[in-house]
Amino acid sequence: MNHHPGAPAPSQAAALNDPAPVPVDTHCPYCALQCGMTLVPDAEGRFSVAARDFPTNKGGLCRKGWTAAALLVSPERLTTPLIRDTKGGPLRAAGWDEALDLVAARFRDIRARHGADAVGVFGGGGLTNEKAYLLGKFARVALGTANIDYNGRYCMSSAAAAGSRAFGIDRGLPFPMADIAETDAILVAGSNPAETMPPLMQYFDAQRARGGRLIVVDPRRSATAQRATLHLQTTPGTDGALAAGLLHVAIRDGLTDPDFIAARTSGFEAVRRIAAQHWPDRVERITGVPERQIVEAAHILGEAATAMVLTGRGPEQQSQGVDNVSAFINLALALGKAGRPLCGWGTLTGQGNGQGGREHGQKADQLPGYRKIADPRHRAEVAAVWGVDPASLPGPGLSATELLDATAPGGAVKALMVLASNVVVSSPAAARVAENLRGLELLVVSDLFLSETAALADVVLPTAQWAEEDGTMTNLEGRVLRRARAQAPPPGVRTDAEVLQALARRLGCAADFSADAETGFAELRRASRGGLADYAGISYARIAAEDGVFWPCPDDDHPGTPRLFLDGFATPDGRARFAAVQPRPAAEVPDDDFPYWLTTGRVMGQYQSGTQTRRVPELAAAEPSAFVEIHPQTARGLGLAEGDMARLTTRRGSIAVRTRLTPAIRLDTLFVPFHWGDGQSANALTHAALDPISRMPEFKVCAVRIVRDAPPP
């Protein structure tokens, strides 16, 4: 799968002074579908994208995938390290030795003066499994810091915590995405795959074509909601109440599965008591969803022979995100729609390697194999692979938002290393984050482009991108894939693994840090052995031969696990656990000063913080700037017309964007996509209130004011 038969492997091609490139089978650099594609060179060696009939996407690609090769020839690519000699001064070009020597010396000095935890590490959900693993090892062994987290905290952490609480294990989809097409009824809460993961929609379309029914929960009548059997248009922040209301109807109308509840679950009685408080007309007043629709949705799910409940960022990116997801899991369990073929709960995760990135050590409380860093046995198992004393490993560190908060003046974190993440755009209360980073003693950013975060750095390290290095990714269904190297990085560019290896040596670390991807994967396999996310039986050869391998896969003879929970849940007693969660309001609700709800999300033509997609001409032309969606009736009352500049203000900041009028959004709600920085940053407005379990910020709900903005002179 990594290269066509008869062609030299990419690493061999580089050794041969990069002869004419050949077609290379690989995967898209963007979302967690990890669609299969082939990079095809022209006579000049420039690549274009061809579709590939891979099991996940079956030859389909979205606009981002089709244009992905443009990243390889972007004129904005960084090709030399940059150093800022004085705070506030300009960045200048530097050599690699100068840059790495400076970073290592500054890290040593800051650790000596303030302790190891004064150096923080912030990773990215787009890093390969090998690099995510190496980064976690680098932080804990070479730097000795507890303070490592990653932007996946902003993506799947609430779903991960809720899934682990209910089932004992976290995997985005505990079944192959192909099962979606064969399921009789599906509820999708707070996800819009028609725009965020377009190739995934073929499975939903096939489900509808064979008579299946689709329910979509969303404050907007999104492109996905438009294709649904039933759209439940909720007030932002009321997902948990809706799930409790659906469960109330299921219990009242005899739709639950008592035999399944008795045989395969625990804790139902406490959940039943909470559901009893959420009769449909009360839930209608909370959520804005008509009672008749609540009843209809419960019956669609409960009367179907097979059903799935899928959550997305809508209910998850809230200060009660874990409880929201648990409420939907409770519904699936009560209906007996879990642990059976074509049934279950799952989450439609977004980032390319959001799954593998946390499984193998980027998350503040986790070690490779989804082990817990606070567990003495888990620490000893990983320390044995790393060749270090378990007592030398730090404990749990700060979550992503708390880590960035700790970079404030007087905070515990004095230096920060950021890999493959644009935190100035992607973090809540973004203006505060930028101000904190400016005041650090040292900010080091490793990236492809001079992102908004890199522009603030003291040292910028130019690194290789998706088609310039080998590695594996784990997609949303737990399938471990091979992303293949198609060409060498530009002269002057190194891989993140080479950077971490060089820094570890300069820091005097005796542990091994291999920059070779397959060698690193072999070590990851050993470190994950026996963990929940067990990759021990997965190899590069098996991935190529089998179109990817589903974890857990504990040994070479194991077939992998496409479907979890059919024989029992991963809890000590094998039973799934209901969670007695009481729905509660958002941390901030509209009032006289800020009278509207604000929610955020993605659009088809851009991806995450836009660091990559805003530099692809076709995508930049399709969606050149941020905007606010507003209902025409609401806009008329405010004197706003289509295309007007509007100023949005919350208690954290203010931005000016153009209006898009649409009846597809609630009268009381505004929507802004989050792919832009500077004066268009949606996250300058969002709330950093955290979920008490997952530490997920409340991206999806806050109170906002909107007025007409005078056009610039």
Q: What is the pLDDT of residues 135-148, one digit of tens each?
A: 999 999 999 999 99
The β-bridge relationship of strands 596-601 and 576-577 is unpaired
As assigned by CATH, the class of the 596-708 domain is: mainly beta
pLDDT value, residue 17 = 52
Residue ranges, the chain, pLDDT below 50: 1-16, 712-713
pLDDT value, residue 403 = 98
For the chain, what are the domain ranges?
A: 82-154+363-473+503-523, 164-347, 596-708
Token digits of residue 435: 């101000």
Would you say 311 and 189 are in contact if contact means Cβ atoms under 8 Å apart?
A: yes
pLDDT value, residue 678 = 87
122: β partners: 149, 418
Would you say 308 and 139 are in contact if contact means Cβ atoms under 8 Å apart?
A: no
In whole angstroms, give the CA distance from residue 129 to residue 539.
Answer: 13
As assigned by CATH, the class of the 82-154+363-473+503-523 domain is: alpha beta
pLDDT value, residue 711 = 61
* Amino acid (1-letter code) at residue 445: V
Specify the DSSP class assigned to residue 220. B
Read off φ and ψ for residue 683, nearest 5 degrees.
Answer: -80, 0
pLDDT value, residue 11 = 37
Closest CA to 134 of 509, 523, 526: 523
The architecture of the domain spanning 164-347 is 3-Layer(aba) Sandwich (3.40)
pTM recorded for the entire structure: 0.94
Would you say 332 and 309 are in contact if contact means Cβ atoms under 8 Å apart?
A: yes
Q: Which residues have C-beta within 8 Å of that of residue 15, sequence separation ≥ 6?
A: none
Read off φ and ψ for residue 326, nearest 5 degrees.
Answer: -60, -35
pLDDT value, residue 349 = 81
